[in-house]
């Protein structure tokens, strides 16, 4: 049962073939069995999840009309607040904090009857590409437990790949949904900025952060996308427009006549051979399905990485100033005679990890007097150029595509002492966040040299998210025919568990 798609589970629930309590318990049992090896979860809410499930079952038994995913379990990235449930953001500085309110995403999940199993591991405050920066230890990739599951949302992606949950929520600031999806053989979607509320999402970089759905199939992602999206008065950046028809698009998968633009600048040197092979094969499958493949250019993409690592740290420097040991979370050095400044300094020294400190320092410097225009201001100008590149390219195509990541999953510890090498993992995903458009990653097969998953990225214009689902569903169907079985059925790790 746990190996089924979320849509299939929902159908079984609706038909009375199982109950939400039974389904939830099976996933809790699975977590108990394998998460000692994977470490996808930071907190498992056994009692809360079963209580939610029982409530859904009671409503169904009473004949109430329920949402499509009512009763299906989900894993929640630990950057989203959930009332009364520990929310750490992967940091010691928030250890033990239980928010007094739900994020809007959680409110929408509860409204739709989606059962929240617990909170997933992540790079501290979403700063990282490997989930090695968590203060609570790394998450392991279920395909190979010695490898990273991507980041910052590696816990959510690993939970899906290990069949600990059929659905998950991630957040994407520079690729933190899509990159973990790519290296774990799952599906991850960054909606258009403002398409899903950020209220209750603990901020890293406010102009870049975006919550989105993580799943094992394109349709499952679409169903979850529709459940969490929409206007929210509590978020001033929330878009007042109808939610794109993503579920209809995922059910259709018709790409006949669509123009698919291959980004020249994201398909060159530096990409692993197997990544390029699977990408080219995917293009051939889309062409066979009736799409027209064209090449597009985005010359300013080469500056995206540098600009991102000025904008994101600058905003993180401002956002993380709220963690001051005065109101909530960790407090160190609070003894008689200690000044507020010394308590704050000691707490931040102990509570923040190395990568968070690095980015705070970088961002504070970029925003400082005499440097603001040269660094942060210039990076924002580059951001405008990147947006213009997307606009120009979308005049020639309906969606743009590239490999999601330059390589497959690397070994835990392999790049932890080389920040630049780590940052380069996001070279293909960052432009999407800079422009605020939608992006999706779905599995395109296994790299022949190491047998690990490869991701295919689809990018769509703002509030045209349904186009990603059209192309994603078409490619998924073609690849399923080619593979003969879902990709995750080939997973070698955790076999027999």
The pLDDT tens digits for 66-104 are 999 999 999 999 999 999 999 999 999 999 899 999 999
Question: Can you say whether residue 16 is alpha, beta or left, with left for phi > 0 and alpha for psi between -120 and 50 degrees?
Answer: left
Is the pLDDT score of 489 beyond 60? yes
Length of the chain: 497
Residues acting as catalytic residues: 77, 152, 176
What the chain holds in terms of domains, given with CATH numbers, is 6-301+383-490 (3.90.1300.10)
Q: Tell me the two tokens of residue 298.
A: 């985005």
Q: Tell me the two tokens of residue 101.
A: 């309110």
Average pLDDT over residues 292-308: 97
Q: In what order do the strands lie in the sheet with 399-403?
A: 41-44, 115-120, 73-77, 167-171, 211-215, 187-190, 438-446, 453-460, 399-403, 259-263, 292-296
User: Which residue, 165, 128, 162, is CA-closest to 142?
Assistant: 162
User: Which residue, 455, 483, 478, is CA-closest to 189?
Assistant: 455
Give 347 or 132, the one with higher predicted confidence: 132
Q: What is the dihedral of CA 224, 24, 181, 474, to 10 degrees?
A: -50
- Between the two ends of the chain, the Cα-to-Cα distance in Å is 14
Chain mean position to CA 60: 31
The residues that bridge with 289 in the sheet, in sequence order, are: none
Confidence of residue 311 (pLDDT cuts 50, 70, 90): very high
Confidence of residue 26 (pLDDT cuts 50, 70, 90): very high
pLDDT, residue 440, reads 98
Please give the radius of gyration of the chain, using alpha carbons only, rounded to the nearest integer.
21
Is the pLDDT score of 381 beyond 80? yes
pLDDT, residue 135, reads 97
Q: What is the dihedral of CA 52, 58, 60, 66, to 10 degrees?
A: -40
In whole angstroms, how far apart are CA 284 and each of 95, 474, 494? 49, 12, 33
Instruction: State the Cα angle at 414 between 413 and 420, rounded to 5°.
Output: 110
Rounded to an integer, what distance in angstroms lies between the CA atom of residue 57 and that of residue 437?
38
Residue tagged 């603001």 (tokens): 372
User: Which residue, 67, 59, 105, 50, is CA-closest to 83?
Assistant: 105
Is the pLDDT score of 361 beyond 90? yes
Is the pLDDT score of 432 beyond 90? yes
Is the pLDDT score of 496 beyond 60? no
Asked if 392 contacts 299 with a C-beta cutoff of 8 angstroms, the reply is no
CA dihedral sign of residues 405, 411, 416, 421: negative
pLDDT tens-digit readout, 436-463: 999 999 999 999 999 999 999 999 999 9
DSSP string, 52-121: HHHHHHHHHHTT----TTTT-EEEEETTB--TTS---TT-GGGTT---SS--HHHHHHHHTT-EEEEEE-
Rounded to an integer, what distance in angstroms lies between the CA atom of residue 87 and that of residue 153?
14
User: Which residue, 92, 401, 468, 60, is CA-closest to 247?
Assistant: 468
pLDDT tens-digit readout, 145-186: 999 999 999 999 999 999 999 999 999 999 999 999 999 999
Asked if 263 contacts 301 with a C-beta cutoff of 8 angstroms, the reply is yes
DSSP for residue 147: B
Count Cα atoms within 13 angstroms, Cβ side, for 209: 26
Average pLDDT over residues 188-198: 98
Q: Is-cis flag, bond preceding 172, omega within 30?
A: no
Rounded to an integer, what distance in angstroms lies between the CA atom of residue 60 and that of residue 476?
32
Task: Supply the pTM of this predicted model.
Answer: 0.97
Average pLDDT, the chain: 95
Is the pLDDT score of 495 beyond 60? no
pLDDT, residue 493, reads 63
Of all residues in the chain, what percent carry a pLDDT higher than 90?
88
């Amino acid at each position: 049962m746990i190996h089924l798609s979320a849509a299939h589970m929902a159908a079984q629930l609706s038909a009375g073939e199982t109950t939400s309590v039974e389904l939830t318990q099976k996933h809790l049992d699975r977590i108990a069995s394998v998460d000692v090896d994977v470490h996808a979860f930071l907190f498992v809410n056994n009692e809360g999840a079963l209580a939610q499930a029982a409530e859904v079952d009671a409503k169904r038994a009473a004949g109430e009309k329920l949402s499509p995913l009512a009763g299906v379990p989900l894993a929640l990235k630990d950057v989203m607040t959930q009332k009364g449930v520990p929310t750490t953001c992967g940091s010691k500085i928030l250890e033990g904090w239980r928010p007094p309110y739900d994020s809007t995403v959680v409110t929408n999940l509860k409204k739709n009857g989606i059962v929240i199993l617990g909170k997933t591991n992540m790079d501290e405050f979403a700063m990282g590409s490997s989930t090695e920066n968590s203060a609570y230890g790394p998450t392991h990739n279920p395909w190979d437990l010695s490898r990273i599951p991507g980041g910052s949302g590696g816990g959510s992606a690993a939970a899906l790949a290990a069949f600990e949950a059929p659905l998950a929520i991630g957040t994407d600031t520079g690729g933190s949904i899509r990159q973990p999806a790519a290296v774990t053989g799952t599906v991850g979607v960054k909606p258009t900025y403002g398409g899903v509320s950020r209220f209750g999402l603990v901020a890293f970089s406010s102009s870049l952060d975006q919550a989105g759905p993580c799943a094992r199939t394109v349709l499952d992602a679409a169903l979850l996308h529709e459940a969490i999206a929409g206007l929210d008065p509590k978020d001033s950046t929330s878009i007042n427009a109808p939610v794109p028809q993503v579920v209809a698009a995922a059910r259709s998968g018709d790409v006949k006549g669509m123009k698919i633009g291959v980004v020249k600048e994201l398909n060159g040197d530096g990409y692993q051979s197997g990544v390029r092979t699977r990408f080219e094969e995917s293009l051939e499958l889309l062409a066979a399905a009736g799409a027209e493949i064209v090449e597009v250019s985005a010359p300013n993409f080469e500056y995206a990485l540098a600009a991102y690592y000025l904008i994101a740290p600058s905003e993180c420097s401002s956002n993380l100033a709220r963690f001051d040991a005065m109101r909530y979370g960790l407090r160190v050095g609070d003894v008689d005679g200690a000044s507020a400044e010394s308590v704050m300094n000691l707490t931040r020294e102990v509570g923040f990890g190395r990568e968070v400190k690095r980015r705070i320092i970088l961002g504070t410097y970029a925003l400082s007097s005499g440097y603001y225009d040269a660094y942060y201001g210039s990076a924002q100008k580059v951001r405008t150029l990147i947006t213009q590149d997307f606009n120009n390219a979308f005049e020639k195509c309906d969606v743009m595509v590239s490999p999601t990541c330059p390589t497959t999953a690397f070994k835990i510890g392999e790049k932890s002492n080389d920040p630049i090498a780590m940052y380069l993992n996001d070279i293909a995903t960052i432009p999407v966040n800079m422009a605020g458009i939608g992006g999706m990653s779905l599995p395109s097969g296994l790299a022949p040299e190491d047998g690990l998953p490869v991701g295919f990225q689809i990018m769509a214009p703002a509030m045209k998210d349904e186009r990603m689902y059209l192309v994603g569903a078409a490619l998924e169907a073609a690849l399923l025919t080619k593979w003969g079985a879902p990709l995750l059925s080939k997973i070698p790790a955790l076999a027999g568990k």
